[in-house]
Amino acid sequence: MTDDAILEIGDGCTIQNHAFFQLTKPTPKVFIGNNTVIGRYAMITAKNMIRIGSNVLMGAYVQVIDHSHGIERDKTVREQPALIGQVLIEDDVWIGVGSRILMDVHIGVGAVIGANAVVTKDVPPYAVVGGVPARVIKYRE
């Protein structure tokens, strides 16, 4: 972890084998609520802030990333500036195996993210989403 990084994990959480937390500059903060499960080989990568609520079930190989990089034409890929945002995952969310949650996404309470979905936009409360990019399929009943 980088200097001044914050990693707070609530009570009753399970962090399964080989889950990976990468907290890098400038000001990384990861907050995980109570009774949340982070699946095997999950990758949580923060440069700013990732907040994961309580009672969240995260499958294996899930990635949650609060940053990206620029794609300006006049700079090489290596020279691109970091684009830094945040991710908010509310309580009672189920994130299926292999899903990717990208920067500046807010996942509402009770949402379900289908396996291998790539979430690039906000997800409404109780929505069930899937696909690449993820789209609302239905709502929990």
Question: Residues with catalytic annotation?
Answer: 69
> Please, are residues 126 and 109 in contact by the beta-carbon 8 Å criterion?
yes
The one-letter amino acid at 82: A
Q: SS in 3 state form for 74-85?
A: CCCHHHCCEEEC
User: For residues 10 and 36, is the Cβ–Cβ distance under 8 A?
Assistant: yes
How many residues are present in the chain?
141
